[in-house]
Chains A and B, each alone.
Chain A
């Protein structure tokens, strides 16, 4: 048994599962104001996997890393209520408008600032974009191994991990070495509920920005309770190239938005042969998905 350092990547998303008629604005963008902000569901599956490792390996720490506006601190509190040790909110206007590339860049740069990490666990994808790109991109940028579509951690001994992947054609059991990035499917175990005592302990945890905004009756309490302060990192806390941040760093452009009703789950399997990848690129350019 050894202690692991685990980072869970989590995102606050609009709850697209409970969509009312005002969910979209006239211009076709998501009306975030009317949708409740929630912990991205598959990130909760990811958190559960991290907490299970913590349950079984004394001394293991689980830290939540999230990027978003001030209110995304909710994601960190939610993680603390369920057993995470602490969290960092990566927040800055400079990150606004990031697509997956700019997001994974910022996150990777933040992760580089941290001490040695054994495992980075993220949800497969977020329900607001459904891209499933940020986890793999982070792995590439950090030059770490990655295993996607994980449903279960079968075994973890020393630096060797055995994972079960849930794929379209069945399951795959893979064994590999830490450090590693994992993305977890929604078919993995549901996240445990909040813990009553942790809830009482961290209910008042706040970022510095939140504290300043709210003021309130309890300010004296924070002086003696370092556990109640949630770290905020801005662009100044990490080393970045401004050209790769936010809107500037985001090649994705929204051309138009259509309402579609998904009739079936359809996927195409492409092998790693150059010819097949080239065909796919041509097809995506033709359909203007990429340009």
Chain B
């Protein structure tokens, strides 16, 4: 009878953000969709009510089915039979329940059988499902790939594939290969055009493919023989019903065990080109990855939620020295900082989702009609924000998810190390979040532009302009001081005029920006809802220490110091 949406009032708060009215209005084309689709919402209140009621369905299925299945799925895992994946029994049950409830293809347009969900409520569903089972969310969340088809495939392709996603077929994105992980330019899988059959055929191997046996897959392959870099790669759709791909192996993983991570063998697998040749990596994968990164940020927040709740319950129930351990400062501080990090990563997640929502919706509208000048400008503005916020959200929230899982095990003491409590699984599941869809180090590479171009600082100044109640002014003053520290550190690092020096400090600088941004977002949340004040105070106190520490380090750092960190591979002893 648990409901993972209604038992979490923070979610409803983020769903009702003031910017949502604009998002919904754009997404529903000023409520004109109603003319064509009778079930489309009538007005803003109607749409938000739909979101909320549908998230209640998600919450119910998560509480009643997905969360109770998580343990058995973790034990059983998927296996291969005749070159194809067989999911764990619990996984099959989860998929069936979500399908029956019509929760696939949530963000796809009505005309393809979707619910035309904005990104914010869709990401909220991912947040909720992740709390229930972080491994399962991968299989469900790969419906994200449909968005890439919706953006770049032909109308005819959309009409063939998208309704299948809405009807519940699962997806995969086949990018990684044994020698092409973070460096996707090295992708080798061959795509050859057969003039007689008028079809592309794929040959080669893909590795570490999540839900690799999904019904519809997006495949990155080399369509231009003789090329070596990203410019020779194109994007293809592979339809499992056509055959040609077998699963050779399912990886044995530390966590997210229910999510099958596959090694795939392509043998003359027929496929269709998406969009233009040679744009596979340069354009489409970038879009695909940005969507996926936001999904991992949601997964991280959901894991953090699960970790925090387990720790909180245990700390209340566990008696030592004659009292609940939550009464000890060492424990309650840990819990409150966990909660602050959780609320911080969640508010950053939804801020990012709103930016993505606005720019993506404008992008779709621009295919229907020419945008007005102010609309074009707004689209650009939000796209820039989405571009710098997505890696920030993914990087920060996945690191926090790991910290929360670590602390949750710690609070359980010896029991947390045993398989008797869910934290043991949560700890293992959390670990991947800061690795896949680009490691934290690669998120920093994507985010550092936001530092060097001053884009983060500009947005911080926008937050600074917002009014807060007098009792919170002192928190704002703290953030203004930290912003000065950040600004000084950025100037110090960039004025050295050396790219390696920037790379060396990049993570510190990105984190400083992240802490300040999350501090502001929590402050603004508190201004709307007092519930967040506790987390705002605790987070800003935590952020101050982090930002100051990084500022100190950078202040004392010189270009010449780098050699004390570097390795020389020629030297045998280090």
Show the binding face of A for B, using Cβ within 8 Å.
Answer: 190, 192-201, 203, 217-218, 221, 224-225, 227
Residues of chain A with a CB closer than 8 A to B53's CB = 194, 199, 203
- What's the least CB distance linking B393 to chain A, in Å? 26
Assuming the contacts A192-B100, A196-B101, asked whether A218 and B38 have C-beta atoms less than 8 A apart, the reply is no
Type the 1/0 row for B21-44, where 1 means its CB is closer than 8 Å to any CB of A. Answer: 000000000000000001111110
CB of B103 within 8 A of CB of A196, answer yes
Assuming the contacts A200-B41, A201-B38, A225-B38, asked whether A195 and B97 have C-beta atoms less than 8 A apart, the reply is no
Inter-chain CA distance A102–B43, complex, in Å, is 44
CB of B38 within 8 A of CB of A196, answer no
Assuming the contacts A192-B97, A203-B50, asked whether A197 and B102 have C-beta atoms less than 8 A apart, the reply is yes
Stretch at the interface among B54-62, B199-207, B324-332: B54-62
Inter-chain CA distance A78–B117, complex, in Å, is 22
Max chain A C-beta neighbours (<10 A), residue from B40, B53, B61: B53
CB of A199 within 8 A of CB of B100, answer no
- What's the least CB distance linking B486 to chain A, in Å? 43
Residues of chain B with a CB closer than 8 A to A217's CB = 42-43
- What's the least CB distance linking A12 to chain B, in Å? 19
Residues of chain B with a CB closer than 8 A to A195's CB = 57, 100-102
Inter-chain CA distance A225–B57, complex, in Å, is 25
- Determine the residue in chain B with the shortest Cβ distance to A201: B39
CB of A196 within 8 A of CB of B115, answer yes
- What's the least CB distance linking B358 to chain A, in Å? 23
Inter-chain CA distance A227–B39, complex, in Å, is 11
Residues of chain A with a CB closer than 8 A to B60's CB = 193
Residues of chain A with a CB closer than 8 A to B115's CB = 196-197, 200
CB of B101 within 8 A of CB of A193, answer yes
Inter-chain CA distance A168–B106, complex, in Å, is 45
CB of B50 within 8 A of CB of A200, answer yes
CB of A198 within 8 A of CB of B102, answer yes
Inter-chain CA distance A198–B41, complex, in Å, is 13
Inter-chain CA distance A105–B106, complex, in Å, is 45
Inter-chain CA distance A221–B60, complex, in Å, is 30
- Determine the residue in chain A with the shortest Cβ distance to B38: A225
Please pick, from A199, A221, A227, the residue contacting B42 in the complex, using a CB distance under 8 A.
A221
- Determine the residue in chain B with the shortest Cβ distance to A199: B53
Type the 1/0 row for B99-138, where 1 means its CB is closer than 8 Å to any CB of A. Answer: 0111100100000000100000000000000000000000
- Main DSSP-derived SS at the A contact region: loop
CB of B54 within 8 A of CB of A199, answer yes
Assuming the contacts A192-B97, A193-B57, asked whether A199 and B38 have C-beta atoms less than 8 A apart, the reply is no
- What's the least CB distance linking A82 to chain B, in Å? 9
Residues of chain A with a CB closer than 8 A to B100's CB = 192-193, 195
Count, chain B residues at interface, CB 8 A: 21
Inter-chain CA distance A224–B100, complex, in Å, is 28
CB of A218 within 8 A of CB of B42, answer yes
- Determine the residue in chain B with the shortest Cβ distance to A220: B42
CB of A194 within 8 A of CB of B101, answer yes
Residues of chain B with a CB closer than 8 A to A198's CB = 102
Residues of chain B with a CB closer than 8 A to A197's CB = 39, 102, 115
CB of B102 within 8 A of CB of A196, answer yes
- What's the least CB distance linking B561 to chain A, in Å? 56
Residues of chain B with a CB closer than 8 A to A227's CB = 38
CB of B57 within 8 A of CB of A199, answer yes
Max chain B C-beta neighbours (<10 A), residue from A190, A197, A221: A197
- What's the least CB distance linking B123 to chain A, in Å? 16
Residues of chain A with a CB closer than 8 A to B102's CB = 195-198
- Determine the residue in chain B with the shortest Cβ distance to A83: B100
CB of A194 within 8 A of CB of B57, answer yes
Within 8 A of A (CB), among B50-72: 50, 53-54, 57, 60-61, 64
Please pick, from B42, B49, B97, the residue contacting A193 in the complex, using a CB distance under 8 A.
B97
- What's the least CB distance linking A40 to chain B, in Å? 16
Residues of chain B with a CB closer than 8 A to A194's CB = 53, 57, 101
Max chain A C-beta neighbours (<10 A), residue from B41, B49, B57: B57
CB of A192 within 8 A of CB of B42, answer no
Assuming the contacts A198-B102, A199-B54, asked whether A193 and B38 have C-beta atoms less than 8 A apart, the reply is no
Seed contacts A192-B97, A224-B38; 20 additional CB < 8 Å A-B pairs = A192-B100, A193-B97, A194-B53, A194-B57, A195-B100, A196-B57, A196-B103, A196-B115, A197-B39, A197-B115, A199-B50, A199-B53, A200-B39, A200-B41, A200-B50, A200-B115, A203-B50, A203-B53, A217-B43, A218-B42
Residues of chain B with a CB closer than 8 A to A192's CB = 97, 100-101
Inter-chain CA distance A227–B38, complex, in Å, is 10
Inter-chain CA distance A195–B106, complex, in Å, is 12
21 residue pairs A–B, Cβ–Cβ below 8 Å: A193-B57, A193-B60, A193-B97, A194-B101, A195-B57, A195-B100, A196-B54, A196-B57, A196-B101, A196-B106, A196-B115, A199-B50, A200-B115, A201-B38, A203-B49, A203-B50, A203-B53, A218-B42, A221-B42, A224-B38, A227-B38
- What's the least CB distance linking B62 to chain A, in Å? 10
Type the 1/0 row for B285-301, where 1 means its CB is closer than 8 Å to any CB of A. Answer: 00000000000000000
Max chain A C-beta neighbours (<10 A), residue from B39, B42, B50, B61: B39
Inter-chain CA distance A250–B368, complex, in Å, is 65
Residues of chain B with a CB closer than 8 A to A193's CB = 57, 60-61, 97, 100-101
Residues of chain B with a CB closer than 8 A to A203's CB = 49-50, 53
Inter-chain CA distance A196–B55, complex, in Å, is 9
Inter-chain CA distance A192–B106, complex, in Å, is 18
Inter-chain CA distance A198–B101, complex, in Å, is 9
Residues of chain B with a CB closer than 8 A to A221's CB = 42
- What's the least CB distance linking A49 to chain B, in Å? 15
- What's the least CB distance linking A98 to chain B, in Å? 30
- What's the least CB distance linking A194 to chain B, in Å? 5
Inter-chain CA distance A199–B50, complex, in Å, is 8
The 5 closest A-B pairs by CB, nearest first: A201-B39, A196-B102, A200-B39, A195-B102, A193-B101
Within 8 A of A (CB), among B74-119: 97, 100-103, 106, 115
- What's the least CB distance linking A221 to chain B, in Å? 7
- What's the least CB distance linking B365 to chain A, in Å? 22
Max chain B C-beta neighbours (<10 A), residue from A192, A194, A198: A194
- What's the least CB distance linking A241 to chain B, in Å? 42
- Determine the residue in chain B with the shortest Cβ distance to A225: B38
- What's the least CB distance linking A17 to chain B, in Å? 9
Residues of chain B with a CB closer than 8 A to A190's CB = 64
Residues of chain B with a CB closer than 8 A to A196's CB = 54, 57, 101-103, 106, 115
Inter-chain CA distance A193–B57, complex, in Å, is 7
Residues of chain B with a CB closer than 8 A to A224's CB = 38
Inter-chain CA distance A192–B100, complex, in Å, is 7
Max chain B C-beta neighbours (<10 A), residue from A190, A196, A198, A227: A196
- What's the least CB distance linking B40 to chain A, in Å? 8
Type the 1/0 row for B380-395, where 1 means its CB is closer than 8 Å to any CB of A. Answer: 0000000000000000
- What's the least CB distance linking A106 to chain B, in Å? 32
Residues of chain A with a CB closer than 8 A to B103's CB = 196
- What's the least CB distance linking B433 to chain A, in Å? 27
Residues of chain B with a CB closer than 8 A to A200's CB = 39-41, 50, 54, 115
Inter-chain CA distance A18–B9, complex, in Å, is 21
- Determine the residue in chain B with the shortest Cβ distance to A194: B57
